[in-house]
Amino acid sequence: MKRVGHLINGSEVVGGNRCQDVYNPSTGEADKHVLLATKATVEEAISSAQAAFPAWRNTPAIKRARVMFKFKDLLEQNSDKICQLIGEEHGKIAHDAAGELQRGIENVEYACCAPELLKGEYSKNVAPDIDSWSEFQPLGVVAGITPFNFPVMVPLWMYPMAIVCGNCFVLKPSERDPSSTLFIASLLKKAGLPDGVINVVNGDREAVDTLLNDERVKAVSFVGSTPIAEYVYVTASSNGKRCQALGGAKNHAIVMPDADMDNTVNQLLGAAFGSSGERCMALSVAVAVGDVAGDALVSKMKEAMSNLKVGPYDDPDNDFGPVITREHQQKIIDHINHAEQQSAEIVVDGRFPEIAGYERGFYIGGTLIDRVTPDMDSYHAEIFGPVLQVVRVQSMQAAMDLIDAHEYGNGTCIFTRDGEAARYFSDHINVGMVGINIPLPVPVAYHSFGGWKRSLFGDLHAYGPDAVRFYTKRKTITQRWPSAGIREGVLFSMPS
């Protein structure tokens, strides 16, 4: 069985005895072992990054950007292999994997703008013969801890910008689907990145805790569940590190009575069931305003869902694939069971799909649950599966109050033809990313991604302009070169 190791100082490291199985979710079979890094292994990766930092820090920004240009080309040239690795270990259908990779490439493209982004600011003659300017200097060794659901895109949110800003990076990807992350990191070496600037260690909590507690790591980026995000943020911050920790979500879509219902249904299908619902921006709750809208939505969704196809990753005709593990499959089934026990109506039941030849795969079919109420367990939980719940309210304000009352504030949207309603919604909803007739309002690479409330711990969002601020520290310099022969006396008052 193949062993998946680590990448440290430009070389593959496959030593050690701690390991766990890597499954193909489509078949339910384990075909690889991933090594789990010990504290010593992680410390070796940190040492490698620290040793590479002085030279990389002093490399001109334009040369760092040229590495990113080459890296982008290599990602595009190897797209088929990357998508295959995503499919084998995550279960994502090829067209969905290609979309994930493209969104990651867009962040690399933004990183190519480093010479412009890092120019700093300059003011001449802020006082007689005195000039002042600011510089954006790298932090040093920084780390990223990334989730299973986007093994390519989320790491590309982090290390391209961190590296192009002059930092060196240690990445701890999910141990459930590590191969695509390692392969992509190896492409950076082909792009001309010096050894040690990027290091990848696979592991569990021992690896995470080592990164959080090692004083050489100056900043940590994290994406995952809210309980772990809070732990990462509290631990990193208590150790004096800069930290951004993106957590869970429960994304609502308000469906107004005037919405284009056919278009709304099409949008909800992809947003709720794409990638098997394993997205932090997945739409998992549709809030119908009025029973007329609710009845129309449920009726049309039920009809449209009859055409959904769930199956293995390597069949491009499938709409979505399996979920990541058998344990997660059972967790989703339990949420559906609880909703049914608490008197919700299971309109479309995806608990036990039959996939010929793939009976051991971790499949959940598209599921539609109506008459869900805010006191139900399934409403509060981030199900993270292909499940859409419908809640019915009688007014737009009631829908907004429902969304604002939830502990998560990652993404939300409204479907309407009413510009006044849309403007009021976007102005007043207490959520970080908002869509108007757009179900997945994920910002493009030159904006920044992040939710509110318990969906984000930290002051800066991911990628885009906030990433430049997160991965650099501002230094302001004020200098004076007085004209020859001019001398001033001592000044004791402000400003001097």
Q: Where in the chain is the domain with CATH 3.40.309.10?
A: 251-436
Q: Are 405 and 374 in contact (CB under 8 A)?
A: yes
Q: What is the pLDDT of residue 17?
A: 82
- Quickly name the fold that domain 251-436 has: Aldehyde Dehydrogenase; Chain A, domain 2 (3.40.309)
pTM of the model: 0.95
Q: Which residue has the tokens 């004076």?
A: 480
Annotated catalytic residue within 83, 112, 165, 280? 280
CA–CA separation, 51 and 55 (whole Å): 9
Q: What is the pLDDT of residue 495?
A: 66
Q: What is the pLDDT of residue 496?
A: 59
Q: What is the pLDDT along the chain (496 residues), one digit of tens a residue?
A: 899 999 999 999 997 789 999 999 999 999 999 999 999 999 999 999 999 999 999 999 999 999 999 999 999 999 999 999 999 999 999 999 999 999 999 999 999 999 999 999 999 999 888 999 999 999 999 999 999 999 999 999 999 999 999 999 999 999 999 999 999 999 999 999 999 999 999 999 999 999 999 999 999 999 999 999 999 999 999 999 999 999 999 999 999 999 999 999 999 999 999 999 999 999 999 999 999 999 999 999 999 999 999 999 999 999 999 999 999 999 999 999 999 999 999 999 999 999 999 999 999 999 999 999 999 999 999 999 999 999 999 999 999 999 999 999 999 999 999 999 999 999 999 999 999 999 999 999 999 999 999 999 999 999 999 999 999 999 999 999 877 766 777 878 876 5
Q: What is the pLDDT of residue 373?
A: 97
- Quickly name the fold that domain 2-247+455-477 has: Aldehyde Dehydrogenase; Chain A, domain 1 (3.40.605)
Q: What is the pLDDT of residue 285?
A: 98
Q: Are 436 and 449 in contact (CB under 8 A)?
A: no
Catalytic (active site) residue 165: no
